[in-house]
Every structure is written in C-alpha cells, then in structure tokens.
Amino acid sequence: MTPGQFLREARERHHLGIADLVPSLATIPPICAHDRAEWLALVEADRAPVTIDVGLALFRLLGFDWNRLVSLVAATASDPQGGEA
C-alpha cells in the first residue's frame, strides 16, 4: 500500500469525496478550490508528496492511524518504486 492509497481509503471510509475535503484544506500560498482538489488527487495518486503538513491536515479531518501513514511514507522514501505492501 502506498501513502496515497492509504489516504484515499481513509477518505472513502468516511464516505467523502475530494471536493468534501477541499474547503477544510488551507494552502500557503492560498490556491483556489479547483486547484486544491487537483492537488489532493495528485497526493492520493502518489504523484505529489505527503508532507508533514498535508498528513496532519488530513489526519485532523479523517482521524486515521498516524503511525501507519508515517510508516508508509518512510517505506516509499526508501523504496520509491514499491513502498510497503
């Protein structure tokens, strides 16, 4: 499983779409809701990184297992081709 897959599954467990999270996700610098939605889709597709700020913001909204996300991010960082199964 990749960090993006983990985050997508956490969102889907709450029966939320990406658009449901966008209003609660602030960015610096501020970007429009459409661009935030595209960015979150990239994160879930593992095409944009899960930074500490991104992870914490999503954790606050979704309440997933923080340690699991950190493990997945670390595994992906050490093995960008595969990550943890």
Domains recognised in the chain with CATH numbers: 3-73 (1.10.260)
DSSP the chain: --HHHHHHHHHHHTT--HHHHGGG---SS---HHHHHHHHHHHHTTSS---HHHHHHHHHHH---HHHHHHHHHHHHH-TTT---
Residue 67, burial from CB neighbour count under 10 angstroms (0-12, 13-18, 19+) = exposed
Q: How far apart are CA 73 and CA 29, in angstroms?
A: 24
Question: Which pLDDT score is estimated for 80?
Answer: 59
Question: Which pLDDT score is estimated for 41?
Answer: 97
Q: What is the pLDDT of residues 12-42, one digit of tens each?
A: 999 999 999 999 988 888 999 999 999 999 9
Q: What is the pLDDT of residues 42-80, one digit of tens each?
A: 999 999 999 999 999 999 999 999 999 999 999 988 875
Q: What is the pTM of this model?
A: 0.86
